[in-house]
Chain A
């Protein structure tokens, strides 16, 4: 089965510009997550979707970050305007509840550099 797909793999932008990342989860996975991984740190959840509804966005900087999951499949994460501290790897993950196990499958990530 195909894994979680993300694009682009790399992106370099200047501060105050905008950027968007795309994620296609594993087919049939209802739950989709976006994590931010800053260099030297563990991933931190930004937003979690269940189908096309938001379950948790408590750590999403809503003044500059937005995300949507139209039709409960693909998702887009946007940053506008970007700051230097947004330089990180943005990971998308998906999961399908199976007997109470919510194993998450991660995509390869998008490495963002803000200059």
Chain B
């Protein structure tokens, strides 16, 4: 079945450091890929998405590129802020099925 694997956390960074959170997937067909973020005490929010190979999703300084050849969708940000501290989930959705299959989440802690 479809699955998502993402790097374990926590990832601890200082403010203004470069962020990478790795995500790889296994799926039949051509899934859409997503990054969701969960801030403390809040619900899941869509951060960015990509619906086909080589698409780049971006939002709030975060970026991720859909790499079909490596089945990856790594999340990057050039300069993190304390306010980016949250849990980040990589997910996929296969066309026609709609349901999201999530990775286990990666906690990011950014210190001043």
| Residues of B contacting A114 in the complex (Cβ-Cβ under 8 angstroms) | none
Chain A window 52-76, contacts with chain B (Cβ cutoff 8 Å), 1 for yes, 0 for no: 0001100000000000000000000
A24 part of interface (Cβ distance < 8 Å): no
| Residues of B contacting A21 in the complex (Cβ-Cβ under 8 angstroms) | none
CB distance B105 to A42 under 8 Å?
Answer: yes
In the bound complex, what is the Cα–Cα distance between A44 and B101 (angstroms)? 7
CB distance B49 to A109 under 8 Å?
Answer: no
Given A42-B104, A102-B93, A91–B44 Cβ distance below 8 Å?
yes
In the bound complex, what is the Cα–Cα distance between A43 and B89 (angstroms)? 9
| Residues of A contacting B102 in the complex (Cβ-Cβ under 8 angstroms) | 42-44
Q: Which of B43, B95, B98, B101 contacts A91 (CB 8 A)?
A: B43
| Residues of B contacting A55 in the complex (Cβ-Cβ under 8 angstroms) | 98
Within 8 A of A (CB), among B56-103: 89, 91, 93, 95, 97-103
| Residues of A contacting B43 in the complex (Cβ-Cβ under 8 angstroms) | 3-4, 91, 106-109
B37 to chain A, nearest CB (A): 11
| Residues of A contacting B44 in the complex (Cβ-Cβ under 8 angstroms) | 43, 91, 93, 106
A104 part of interface (Cβ distance < 8 Å): yes
Closest to A6 in B: B43
In the bound complex, what is the Cα–Cα distance between A44 and B32 (angstroms)? 17
Q: Which of A56, A100, A109 contacts B99 (CB 8 A)?
A: A56
24 contacts between A and B (CB under 8 A): A4-B43, A33-B99, A33-B100, A35-B100, A40-B105, A42-B89, A42-B103, A42-B105, A43-B89, A44-B102, A45-B101, A48-B98, A55-B98, A56-B97, A91-B43, A101-B49, A102-B32, A102-B98, A103-B49, A105-B46, A106-B36, A106-B44, A106-B45, A107-B43
B interface list, Cβ under 8 A from A: 4, 32, 36, 42-46, 49, 51, 89, 91, 93, 95, 97-105
